[in-house]
Amino acid sequence: MKMLSREWLEEIISLLNERIVVVNQEGIVMYMDKAYCDFINTTMEEVIGKPVQDVIENTRMHIVAKTGKEEIQDFQPINGSVMVASRFPIVIDGEIVGAVGTVNFPDPEDLRGFKNNIQQLVNDLSYYRSEVEKELKSKYTFDDLVGDSPSFKKIKEFAKVISGSDSSVLITGESGTGKELFANAIHNSSLRGHHPFVPINCASIPEELLESELFGYEDGAFTGAKKGGKKGLFEVAKNGTVFLDEIGDMPLSMQSKLLRALQEREIQPVGGQKTVPIDVRIIAATHQDIQKMVEEGTFRKDLYYRLNVIQLEIPSLRNRKEDIKILSEMLLKKLEKKFYRKGVMLSPEVLERFKQHSWPGNVRELENVLERAINVLDDHIIKWNDLPLYLRELKKEEENVHQQETHVKRDEINLSLLPIQPLKDTVAMVEKQTIINTLEFTRGSKLKAAQLLGIGKTSFYDKCKAYGIK
């Protein structure tokens, strides 16, 4: 292929918007195009062979030629104007031999357009930043935590007290008890309340993506990585609170990395070499028995103690049934807005049925039952027939089970014939037989049996496994 002549190259350079200067490794000017020379009131003959810092005001070309580190879109004051400069090392056969620099000299009209474009981008950025900040604000306060039962009021008051602290909090309790609401309220009432609240469900993020979501990643860290990299949620939550929901589902491999981040107060993005300092408060939550998981080796003991500085155990709904009425009223007001209804109430019969039910799904189950009832409601009073079928049927079943349990056959368990043995063994024997009886009554339905016995599905399955009940 025929090489371009010097005349061609100089003409091409003159047509470009950027002005060009070339220096060798010692920072001596080797080339400067005519427009650049005209701007600084000199000629090419005068500048060739001179140190670049003697020719161009505020230049860094000689530094780039030495370090080999490029500098892109840097602002450089020259002759009373601010130019946009980029500087690149020239590398041949693996050796730095010099550097090439470009600057833009926009005319006043271009500058006005440039300024207008930048201002529009700033306005857009401010809008989107405010929208993102809205999403990262906690949604609930302590006023949203409803309940008059002694156990609930006690844990709510304790949560208010510890909200002013900066220590880590571990919230435990069954699914549906409102652990995330407590986390929101604690953040809102804390000194970090005006900063981001970032909830992270550790169970919903795939294991292979969890580290990059929490700690971020650098450009090109892995196939499909976003160009320019991405901030992790810990960095997004700067000065705020990170809520690690379902912490018990976090993989062991990730637990060690989380522990280091909490201990060192810094993170290292995936594919990065530098660490990033973090300033966040940690609130974690789980419905699992973390202490048991520590004993079994499925959860790190050191991480458990790091998270469990302050523990809140949210009571289940079956242990605070006096709150069912006030909770139902609060949830109905919320649902009325969603379904454009007014004055929806519970009939006395339904309220009594609610108090008899064991609520394995806790407040979340109560809200689902009320939403279902409003969908089929004819007037403004929720009656017996508006309830889900399982709540209507359970009344009769619970009465039958109660009769069965009070007339247990003597050949199954005769209390007078029980052997003298440790109390826990006797209790286990009675518990096992009760589970067997209930399963026979429910025709093998473990879900219904768990509901009738007033225990969670997971606990019921664990007991069946422990007693060898199929």
Same domain for 155 and 290: yes
Same domain for 376 and 297: no
- Residue 239 phi/psi, 5-degree rounding, is 70, 5
Same domain for 224 and 200: yes
Counting as low any pLDDT under 50, the low residues of the chain are: 1, 131, 397, 401, 404-412
In this structure, the number of other CB atoms found within 10 A of the CB of residue 266 comes to: 15
The length of the chain in residues reads 470
What are the angstrom distances between the C-alpha of 113 and each of 105, 106, 116, 225? 14, 10, 5, 34
Which amino acid, residue 73? Q
Long-range contacts of 116-122 (CB under 8 A, 24+ apart): none
> How far apart (Å, rounded) are the C-alpha atoms in residues 130 and 53?
44
Return the percent helix, strand and coil in the chain, to nearest 5: 50, 15, 35
CATH of the domain at 59: 3.30.450.20
Half-sphere exposure of 266 toward its Cβ, with a 13 Å CA cutoff? Answer: 8
> How far apart (Å, rounded) are the C-alpha atoms in residues 468 and 470?
6
The pLDDT score that the predictor gives to residue 271 is 86
Confirm whether 115 is domain-assigned: no
Confirm whether 134 is domain-assigned: no
The pLDDT score that the predictor gives to residue 126 is 55
Same domain for 59 and 179: no
Same domain for 287 and 146: yes
Which amino acid, residue 72? I
SS3 52: helix
What are the angstrom distances between the C-alpha of 247 and each of 6, 168, 205, 261? 67, 13, 12, 15
Count of structural domains, the chain: 4
Same domain for 306 and 206: yes
The pLDDT score that the predictor gives to residue 410 is 40
Confirm whether 393 is domain-assigned: no
Record the tokens describing residue 458, joined without a space.
């997971």
Confirm whether 421 is domain-assigned: yes
Same domain for 232 and 201: yes
Chain position carrying tokens 């860094």 = 60
Residue 41 belongs to domain spanning = 6-105
Confirm whether 300 is domain-assigned: yes
Cβ distance 299 to 248 under 8 Å?
yes
Same domain for 55 and 182: no
CATH of the domain at 158: 3.40.50.300
Burial of 69 (0-12, 13-18, 19+ CB in 10 A): exposed
CATH of the domain at 363: 1.10.8.60
Q: Among 285, 313, 341, identify where a domain stops.
A: 313
Q: Among 85, 105, 125, identify where a domain stops.
A: 105
Confirm whether 360 is domain-assigned: yes
> How far apart (Å, rounded) are the C-alpha atoms in residues 50 and 407?
109
Closest CA to 324 of 350, 351, 364, 358: 351
Same domain for 164 and 63: no
Same domain for 308 and 337: no
- Read off the DSSP letter of residue 135: H
The angle at the Cα of 77, spanning 76 to 80, to the nearest 5 degrees, equals: 160
Q: Among 259, 294, 313, identify where a domain stops.
A: 313
Confirm whether 174 is domain-assigned: yes
DSSP per residue over 260-328, as a string?
A: HHHHHTEE--BT-SS-EE---EEEEEESS-HHHHHHHTSS-HHHHHHHTTEEEEPPPGGG-GGGHHHHH
The angle at the Cα of 68, spanning 65 to 69, to the nearest 5 degrees, equals: 115
Confirm whether 191 is domain-assigned: yes
Same domain for 159 and 307: yes
CATH of the domain at 449: 1.10.10.60
Same domain for 282 and 306: yes
